[in-house]
Each structure stands twice: as C-alpha cells, then as structure tokens.
Structure 1
Amino acid sequence: MPLRNRRTPPAVRLVKRTVEAYRQLEQGQMPAGPGAGALDALHLRKIDLADRILVVNPGGYIGESTSREIAYAHATGKPISFTDPSDQ
C-alpha cells in the first residue's frame, strides 16, 4: 500500500503517515521517514487548534520534542501550564 498517491488529498496522506509513525512507535522503533515529520506536524496543528496548552511533565522532565512544542505554543501566544514545576 503506497503512502503517496497524487489523487489522495494532502490531509489524508498526513493521516496515513501519522498512523505509520505510531505503528513504528508501538513496535519500539523510532519513527523515520515521512511519518516522523507527520507526527511533528500533527502536534503543531493540535497546538494551533488549542485555546491553551497543558504540559504533562512528571518530575519536571521535558524532552526535546516537547521543548520544541512549548516554544511553538509560546510563539503563537498560547497560555502554557505545567503539571510539575519546570524551568521552561
């Protein structure tokens, strides 16, 4: 099943790549290829749709991807809250 078809709308291709990336994660693999970027794009789109952001950061830990998403949310003016104290 090809992930790219010129007749398939871009949103559908994004969903297919995202599903493939989640399958890779479930198998203990880090997403690679187009699916990895699809996850990042999906998360940023969710931030665009949100009124505010709640960062779930047990023990104050914030990973690299979450840091990028926090920076994006901050740049778009979204209010950001954390479940645990953080330096962000």
Structure 2
Amino acid sequence: MDEMTFWESMQERWQAYKKPILWLFWSNVLYAIFGSRDCEYHACRVSNMTTLQQWVFHILMFFNVIICPIWIKLIALKRRTDSMF
C-alpha cells in the first residue's frame, strides 16, 4: 500500500483543488473592488455601480455561489471514485 506523508497528501490535494480555490480567491478580490458599498458607512458618498460593475458583480456571484461549489464537489467525487477502483 502506498502511504504518503501528511505534507505529500496535502500537496496532492492542493494540486487537485488549486484551480477552483484560486478562482474563488480572485473572484472575491474582484468582488471587494467592484462590489456595492453601503454609502452610510463611508465618510464620502460612493456613487452607484456602473453597468459594467453590476455585470461583474452578478457574474462573480454566479461563479462563487453555483459554479465553484459544483466544481469542487465534482473533483471530490472523481477522487473518491478513482480511489475505489
């Protein structure tokens, strides 16, 4: 039986989940930049979002809420079924 150390197994998991995790990270960074801000919490008023900012916000939320969790679940299912056979 092939036994891996803890760090080897973590490195192997990182390689498997790297793309969706990085996608979630960078989409959250973009959300922090383009996301809507509540004006009452800022010293100066913040203008309304432009159409581009609204599209970016909706696309990022779609990927963060729907696509990335499904992507991660599919990777987990593939890894589980590969280990069974």
TM-score scaled by length of structure 1: 0.28
- The structure that is strand-richer by fraction is 1
- The structure that is helix-richer by fraction is 2
Structure with more contact order per residue of length (Cα contacts < 8 Å, sep ≥ 6): 2
TM-score scaled by length of structure 2: 0.29
Q: Larger C-alpha radius of gyration, 1 or 2?
A: 2
